[in-house]
Amino acid sequence: AAKDAGRNTFQFYNASFYERVQRRVTLEQELRQALARNELHLAFQPTVSMEDNGVACIEALLRWTSSSGESRFPSEFIPVAEDCGEILPIGRWVLGEACRQARRWHEAGLQFGRIAVNVSPLQLRDPEFGSQVLEACAREQWPTDRLVLEITESALMRDSDVLRNTFALFKTNGITLSIDDFGTGFSNLGYLHRFPLRNLKIDRSFVSRMDTTPNMLELTHAVVSLGHALGLSVVAEGVETENVLQLLRQQGCDEAQGYLFTRPLAADEMATWLAAQA
Ligand code: C2E
Ligand code: MG
Ligand code: MG
Ligand code: MG
């Protein structure tokens, strides 16, 4: 009987493993067709300046409605896109689309600082990436010094000629970087000054717990001090309450982003939101 049970367990495991592989293969196939089928679009979320409540930045966030009509979130499909290499063409599309949309808002007379685009570590490793970014700005007539690229700490961890060349190109053209989800990776603090950084974005997991979890206040305060010591502005992500905003203000945090201001919005909703701020 023990042997039977063992065999059954084994078969059960096999079946579910097979199912997972199937699902993964289907997801990859659908993802490869997503661009051609126009299934990708962007949502936008502002970052607000603590000083004057102005819109310092608008972050582009990728959305995918697959052919079955299902909405899929980045946490589900970006890792798959990275594994199968599809992140490179998708990332190129996001850059162009974000700059194009920023240009449209600008032409409509709407006021905001910069447009921010999330970039995968795999894109940064691509020797063509730097020139692709410049091309996108030129094509969409978007000034390079109004583009910010959000990267994670892990993308900066390994040094390479490609990375150095790309960042040199960015520096010359005024393209700056934001370190996203700061505090969740392990930045080599001694290296941070080497990159053309603009801000540190304190991870949501810290910000959202500032008013409930012991030591969180000290932690966010430390990140604000560190950012300022490096000459960077510090952005808090995931601000959901007036209370947390007030605490961040007291700590000297420069900008905030989160549901308190607005959830990510479609491009036309963002235009309406921007107009209402003015
Ligand atoms: P992220 O860049 O740190 O973006 C912030 C995420 O937090 C977004 O989730 C946003 O919708 C969510 N968020 C913002 N404010 C709040 C808040 O107050 N409360 C809560 N609970 N959540 C908030 P989203 O859009 O699902 O994106 C998840 C992640 O996927 C992003 O994290 C980013 O790392 C990645 N991502 C999104 N778009 C792209 C893209 O175009 N390319 C790449 N490579 N990654 C992307
Ligand atoms: Mg981001
Ligand atoms: Mg973030
Ligand atoms: Mg985050």
ipTM of the complex: 0.98
Question: Residue 61 C-alpha to ligand 1 middle, in angstroms?
Answer: 6
pLDDT reading at 2 higher than 50: no
Instruction: Give the DSSP per-residue string, 27-83.
Output: HHHHHHHHTTTT-EEEEEEEEEETTT--EEEEEEEEEEE-TTS-EE-HHHHHHHHHH
Cβ–Cβ under 8 Å, residues 179 and 152: yes
pLDDT tens sequence across 6-26: 455 555 556 688 888 888 888
pLDDT tens sequence across 75-101: 999 999 999 999 999 999 999 999 999
pLDDT reading at 107 higher than 70: yes
High-pLDDT (> 70) share of the chain, %: 95
Q: Is any ligand 1 atom within 6 A of the Cβ of residue 89?
A: no
Q: Is any ligand 1 atom within 6 A of the Cβ of residue 78?
A: yes
Identify the nearest ligand to the CA of 48 by its number: 1
The stretch 32-36 carries a mean pLDDT of 94
pLDDT tens sequence across 56-74: 999 999 999 987 888 999 9
Q: Which residue has the tokens 């798959």?
A: 80
Question: Residue 114 C-alpha to ligand 1 middle, in angstroms?
Answer: 17
Q: Would you say the pTM of this structure is higher than 0.90?
A: yes
Which residue CA neighbors atom 33 of ligand 1 most closely?
118
Residue 186: CB atoms within 10 A of its CB come to 9
Q: How many CA atoms lie within 13 A of 25 on its CB side?
A: 6
pLDDT tens sequence across 134-159: 999 999 999 999 999 999 988 888 78
Torsion of CA 120, 124, 128, 130, to 10 degrees: 110
Residue 183: the pLDDT is 87
pLDDT reading at 106 higher than 70: yes
3-class state of residue 233 by DSSP:
strand
Q: Is any ligand 1 atom within 6 A of the Cβ of residue 180?
A: yes
Q: Is any ligand 1 atom within 6 A of the Cβ of residue 240?
A: yes
Q: Is any ligand 1 atom within 6 A of the Cβ of residue 258?
A: yes
Q: Is any ligand 1 atom within 6 A of the Cβ of residue 120?
A: yes
pLDDT tens sequence across 184-229: 887 778 888 889 999 999 999 999 999 999 899 999 999 999 999 9
Which residue CA neighbors atom 8 of ligand 1 most closely?
61
Residue 1: the pLDDT is 44
Residue 93: the pLDDT is 98
Residue 55: the pLDDT is 98
Name the amino acid, one letter, at 103.
R
Mean model confidence pLDDT for the chain: 92
Q: Is any ligand 1 atom within 6 A of the Cβ of residue 75?
A: yes
Atom of ligand 1 nearest to the CA of 120: 44
Residue 168: the pLDDT is 96
